């Protein structure tokens, strides 16, 4: 079963959106396998966003993502990486469709509420950056047979 890394960013935590966001992925049928409230260090932020190191907004991005606690999550399910990206909506909330998380709750690209891995490679890398193996639970939920 595929896994992805999702994270409620500091703006989402401050705006009391943790529950709403968890609810959307639970209701869809995905399974939570790990989660924690944490404050990202500058070092972890730079590793997480390494692909953007040369971009003009990199400093701003690192400053923002370390500015308060985030809610880091590992989710599991068929095709969860791509489907979670669809549920998040476009990077710029002004282009994100209503019904998506960014479309419903975001206003600017700098404060777009949620992060989600964009490929199996980044999911693997990001899960490894944020979680130790013993923080992820492998378990069978009773409703699985009613979802697949």
Shortest distance in whole angstroms from residue 85 CB to ligand IDP: 8
Contact flags string 58-97 toward ligand IDP, x per CB under 6 A = --xx-----------------------------x------
Q: Does residue 48 touch ligand IDP according to CB under 6 A?
A: no
Tell which residue, 66, 74, 59, has the closest CA to residue 45: 66
In whole angstroms, give the CA distance from residue 44 to residue 32: 23
CA atoms within 13 Å, Cβ hemisphere of 73: 24
Q: Which residue number has the CB closest to ligand IDP? A: 91
The answer to the question of whether 108 is labelled as a binding residue is: no
Shortest distance in whole angstroms from residue 118 CB to ligand IDP: 5
The answer to the question of whether 9 is labelled as a binding residue is: yes
Alpha helices in the chain (DSSP H): 10-14, 18-28, 42-48, 58-65, 80-88, 101-105, 120-130, 144-147
The answer to the question of whether 85 is labelled as a binding residue is: yes
Q: Which of 112, 123, 126, 127 binds ligand IDP (CB under 6 A)?
A: 112
Cβ neighbors of 14 (< 8 A, separation 6 or more) are 68
- Does the annotation mark 115 as catalytic? yes
Which residues are registered as beta bridge partners of 45? none
Residues that bind ligand IDP (CB under 6 A): 57, 60-61, 91, 109-110, 112, 115, 118
Q: Would you name the residues annotated as active-site residues?
A: 115
């Amino acid at each position: 079963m595929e896994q992805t890394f999702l994270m409620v960013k500091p703006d989402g935590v401050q705006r009391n959106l943790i529950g709403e966001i968890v609810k959307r992925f639970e209701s869809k049928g995905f399974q939570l396998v790990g989660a924690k409230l944490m404050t990202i260090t500058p070092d972890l932020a730079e590793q997480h966003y390494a692909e953007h190191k040369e971009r003009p907004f990199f400093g701003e991005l690192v400053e923002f993502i370390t500015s308060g606690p985030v809610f880091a999550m590992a989710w599991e399910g068929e095709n969860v990486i791509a489907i979670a990206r669809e549920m998040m909506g476009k990077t710029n909330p002004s282009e994100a469709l209503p019904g998506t998380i960014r479309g419903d709750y975001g206003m600017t690209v700098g404060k777009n509420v949620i992060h989600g891995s964009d490929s199996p490679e980044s999911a693997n890398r990001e899960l490894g950056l944020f979680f130790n193996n013993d923080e992820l639970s492998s378990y069978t939920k009773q409703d699985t047979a009613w979802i697949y």
